[in-house]
Amino acid sequence: MSRPSLLLPVAALIAAAAVSGCVAMDPQGAARQQSSTYYNQPYETLSADQKMKLENHLARQSNEAWRTNAQVASGFGHLMQGVGVLVFSARH
């Protein structure tokens, strides 16, 4: 793979990590946006228990997304390291 063709997957990975991190920074804001999806009613009308459950659910999803992104980045790094070793050994 050439350098320009590597740029797109790396940029996509960074963008996905940034988007998944938004919920971790503001779980209540994310819950306000998602309450109609989960409960079919505005956030303000939810009980305290429903609000807490929704915020916790969204935070868990965000944390899972961070872990997945980290695993993908780690796997990509290991792959590139292996490719580098193969290229280096082939050249010498």
pLDDT digits (tens, 9 = 90+) for 5-31: 666 676 666 666 555 555 556 788 888
Please check whether residue 23 is in contact with residue 61, taking contact to mean a CB–CB distance below 8 angstroms: yes
The pTM of the whole model exceeds 0.85: no
> Residue 87: is it exposed, middle or buried by C-beta count within 10 angstroms (0-12/13-18/19+)?
exposed
Q: Which long-range contacts (CB under 8 A, 24 or more apart) does 34-41 make?
A: 34/58
Provide, rounded to the nearest whole percent, the portion of the chain with pLDDT above 90. 15
Other CB atoms within 10 Å distance of the CB of residue 69: 18
